Structure 1
Amino acid sequence: MLLYLFLATILSGQYISGQFGPFEQDFGYVTVRDGAHMFYWLFYTTAEVENYTDRPLIVWLQGGPGGSSTGIGNFDIMGPLDLNLEPRNYTWVKNFNVMYLDNPVGSGFSYVDDPSHLTTTNDQIALDFVSLMKGFLEKHPEFQGVPLYIYGQSYGGKMAVDMAIRLREAEEAGDIQSDLRGIAMGNAWISPVDATLTWGPLLLAAGLVDEAGYESIQAAAREAERLFNDGQYLASTNAWSATQRAVFSATTNVDFYDITTKMPAWPDTRSDDAMEIMLRDGITREQELSLNTIMNTLVKPALNIPDHVVWTASNNQVFTTLNADFMKPVTDGIEKLLNETDIILTKYNGNLDLICSTPGQMLWVDRLKWDGAEAYRNAPRLPIWEDDRLEGYYKAYGNFRFFWINVAGHSVPRDNPAGANAFLRDMTGFP
């Protein structure tokens, strides 16, 4: 079916050599460090504007770490074409220029000459991003001064925090002519211990576990917390993985990305199977197989990707290299951005998610130390109405806002496009 659609596009004259599909686009590599090559795929907005630079540039970051934005974010979540290679009616490209970034290096079509060039910390990821943006703006100087927003899902939201810090530093130093206006952290892995500790209570409140199941989950979660507090960060990551296995056992494989559904049975209970869930960032095995076909047999030759680069939905080596950094929070960075910059920080969450649960997000938000903390706590929580339908709630003060999105799991833009419109409009003024 996919091959048929691809050939039909070619025969209909819509396919232009050097791109994939009929949408105006640009793509390429930036060598962010010696031996480290990052791939981006930009889609120009289809909005009826005089010039595409009249609309902001949104950078989309997938989670994992190691998930591919050019595959998952693009085809599965909100790019111009869906997994059937049909036009998507709620794509963000209708209102924005959207750049999908395979980040960290090693993810998707990005690659390294040697594994030693993979990143080990969130700050290294952020520095690579600044290098990427410098290379991108050298090729596309028309985007200098265009409002820039970074939207990160899951681990992508964690990466966005340090990216904002490093990019703003580069802007203030005059090293780059970008105009970062805001970041969005979608179902984000901001404070991993907080998230993990809320799995048991959320599942118990939803009636998905009994007291015995709750206790087994919480025992594993508390061990992950203990190890983290002792500075045993790699061991804490392993204990987090054990907590996932406890959830599987107690719930008979509840879907970590939508608690109203069930994941397929896993072949065994090895720790790497549990980690694979985080790497998948919300896609099923069937969707991954479909993406592998699209990316390696159709997109790869169309975009002239080097032969030695094989696209995967998620790169285990990227994840493993960041294992010791995985459980570390980035709340200090959020406080720095709130206290020292005018960058808008949007936190949005699908309420059906477990892995980055809404209760876990609220814990760290309530502990933030910033000038507007008390005013934010006292701000009203207001409903989000879209076309006479209640899509969730929001709360805001200064440059921080929190969006609770109904009928959505881990990937809000895909699960509830109307709800996503609310936080897009709030941050950017469009649509």
Structure 2
Amino acid sequence: MWLYLLIFSILSQQSVFGQFGDFEQEYGYVTVRQGAHMFYWLFYTTADVPNYTDRPLIVWLQGGPGGSSTGIGNFEILGPMDLSLQERNYTWVKNFNVLFVDNPVGTGFSYVDELQFLTTTNDQIALDFVELMRGFYADNPMFEGVDLYIYGQSYGGKMAVDMALRMHEAEEAGTIRSNLRGIAMGNAWISPVDATLTWGPLLLAAGLVNQEGYEAIQASAREAERLFNEGQYVASTNQWAATQSVVFRHTTNVDFYNILTKMPTNLPDSRSDLELSRDMLIHNKPYSTPVDDRNEYNLQYLMNNLVKPALEIPDHVSWGSQSNAVFAYQNGDFMKPVTEGIEKLLNETNIIVTKYNGNLDLICDTPGQILWVDRLKWPGAEAYRNATRQPIWEDGKLEGYYKAHGNFRFFWINVAGHSVPRDNPAGSNAFLRDMTSFG
């Protein structure tokens, strides 16, 4: 890492450093609306192919809302370099062109001139994304017509559904020359009420709470459901956050992103229930601690002190400074499901719809995903339910299971929590190959 910094310093002084690291890349801003500016960062594939465009383009979306794809998705999960600025051996860039997008506007290096330009609904996020992709293709016309796949984690999976609908609509109208082939929803916030109502049963089955704890969690979760059913969406969001705190109390702070681990014993802290839940989702981890490993960067420092000058980000933009506001502006939409959008994709398009889940996740737990999947109304619903679940073998190791029919598939991934590509790269290869034929 220190050699990397020396090279960075020398090249910066010579004013010839136009990228971050040695990987071929492209980056830029697209003004998606008046006052709303979205940032993207593309890494070209390192696959041995005659042209970059011989491999698909994958868009990676982070959760939150307010989590940065260019920061978290890139350096913490699947980009070409990790937080030590060392090459990641399982990076998706080995097989694909990967486009990290800071969305919604206000996330990461994306920004709005005034907070009133932030989005408040999933559909608004989707419309901004279409404009972002129009700008991306204008800057990078060689990718027009190249197979496009959208992979979203957590809230990113929710965003991907409406993005696919709006992208398909634009393709049909001939207003964008993309070739969207599929979307993947990883441990996604698709039906929030279903997820919240299954926390208690999962924790009880795993032996992490007793009957008293289970009943307390369920009572709080059912109150979130009641508020949602009454149309009190912001109140339901607040009650969802309160339910998380009930879980903390009765499990001695189980890690919501991996039920086999614990959070620090000083949580919950002085933050409110909603603030704690917000910070968990934005930062893709249940808590923030100083980085003890002297060879690993703090992400906030890395993005604002090394990446920002290298990519010539405007001086007035601070990575992540508007993320809390992004989350707050989505409060009324946060608990709303996007299952109708998934049904529309299955009923009206040929777009591949993939759901994958790490079985150790709690916040977007697998039992909650299965509930909404089994309720989907589409022509292949019965055939999917009756399909045989197949094992996923990678190098002689059972990495999970999958079930598929038509253009819908579900992947259960073993030994993985909320961030499957990071927790189980081998298992991730299965759903990548299934959708793209590469991986």
TM-score after normalising by structure 2: 0.95
Structure 1 residue 7, shift from structure 2 partner: 2.2
Per the alignment, do residues 286 and 372 of structure 1 end up closer, same or farther by CA in structure 2, a change over 3 Å counting? Answer: same
Superposed counterparts of 1:15-94, under 5 Å? 17-94=17-94
State the distance in 1 between where 2:305 and 2:271 align: 32
Partner of 2:360: 352
Matched, 1:424 2:427: no
TM superposition shift of 1:283: 6.6
Find the aligned partners of 1:219 and 1:58 in 2 and give their Cα distance. Answer: 41
- Tell me by how many angstroms 1:278 deviates: 2.1
The answer to whether the 8 A contact 1:58-1:148 is kept is yes
Residue in 2 that maps onto 1:199: 199
Mapped partners of 2:399, 2:260: distance in 1: 17
Deviation at 1:109, TM superposition (A): 0.1
Deviation at 1:285, TM superposition (A): 1.8
Q: In the alignment, which residue of structure 2 is the partner of 1:7?
A: 6
In 1, the alpha carbon distance for the partners of 2:243 and 2:436 equals: 38
- 2:161–2:338 contact (8 Å) kept in structure 1: yes
For 1:49 and 1:160, the matched residues in 2 are separated by 28
Post-superposition offset of 1:404: 0.2
2:401 equivalent in structure 1 = 393
Q: Deviations over 1:247-281 (max 9, x none)?
A: 01001111000000111232236121233222222
Q: Quick one: structure 1 residues 283 and 427, their matched pair in 2 at CA, closer, same or farther if it must change by over 3 Å? A: farther
Q: Counterparts of 2:332 and 2:153 in 1: how far apart (Å)?
A: 20
Match of 1:296 in 2: 304
Residue 277, structure 1, aligned to residue 280, structure 2? yes
Q: SS at the partner of 1:418? A: helix
Query: Are positions 1:374 and 2:382 aligned together?
Result: yes
How far off its partner does 1:12 sit? 9.0
Indicate the residue corresponding to 1:268 in structure 2. 270
Structure 1 residue ranges, 4+ long, deviating more than 6 angstroms after superposition: none
Give the drift of 1:313.
Answer: 8.5
| Partner AA of 1:32 in structure 2 | V
The equivalent residue for 2:294 is none
Distance across 2 between alignment mates of 1:402 and 1:295: 34
For residue 89 of structure 1, give the secondary structure of its aligned residue in structure 2.
coil
The equivalences for 1:315-330 within 5 A come to 315-330=323-338
SS at match of 1:48: coil
Take 1:421 and 1:140, find their aligned partners in 2: how far apart are those partners? Answer: 27
Q: Contact between 2:11 and 2:17, CA under 8 Å: does it hold in 1? A: no
Q: Distance in 1 between matches of 2:124 and 2:23?
A: 33
Structure 1: how far apart are the matches of 2:10 and 2:288?
31
- Comparing 192-201 with 287-296, greater Cα deviation is found at 287-296
TM-score normalised by structure 1 residue count: 0.97
- The more displaced of 105-114 and 287-296 is 287-296
Supply the AA of the counterpart residue of 1:278.
Answer: L
Over residues 395-426 of structure 1, what are the superposed CA-to-partner deviations in whole Å (9 max), with x where a residue is unaligned? Answer: 00000000000000000000000000000000
Structure 2 letter corresponding to 1:330 = V
Q: Helix, strand or coil: the match of 1:299?
A: helix
Q: Report the count of equivalent residues.
A: 430
SS of 1:410 mapped into structure 2: coil
Tell me the equivalent position of 1:342: 350
Match of 1:173 in 2: 173
Per-residue CA deviations over 1:319-360 (Å, capped at 9, x if unaligned) read: 000000000000000000000000000000000000000000
Query: Kindly tell me: are residues 16 and 383 of structure 1, through their superposed partners in 2, closer, same or farther at Cα, counting changes over 3 Å?
Result: farther
Distance 1:269 1:235, change over 3 A: same
In structure 2, do the counterparts of structure 1 residues 313 and 72 end up closer, same or farther at CA, with 3 Å as the change threshold? farther
Answer whether contact 2:56 2:148 (CA < 8 A) is retained: yes
How far residue 284 of structure 1 moved from its aligned partner, in angstroms, is 4.9
Asked if the contact 1:64/1:314 (under 8 Å) is kept, the reply is: no
Between 1:182-191 and 1:211-220, the stretch displaced more is: 211-220
**Which consecutive residues of structure 2, in runs of 5 or more, have no partner in the other structure?**
292-296
Please give the alpha-carbon distance, in whole angstroms, between the structure 2 residues aligned to 1:48 and 1:89. Answer: 16
Helix, strand or coil for the counterpart of 2:175? coil
Q: Which residue number in structure 2 is paired with residue 364 of structure 1?
A: 372
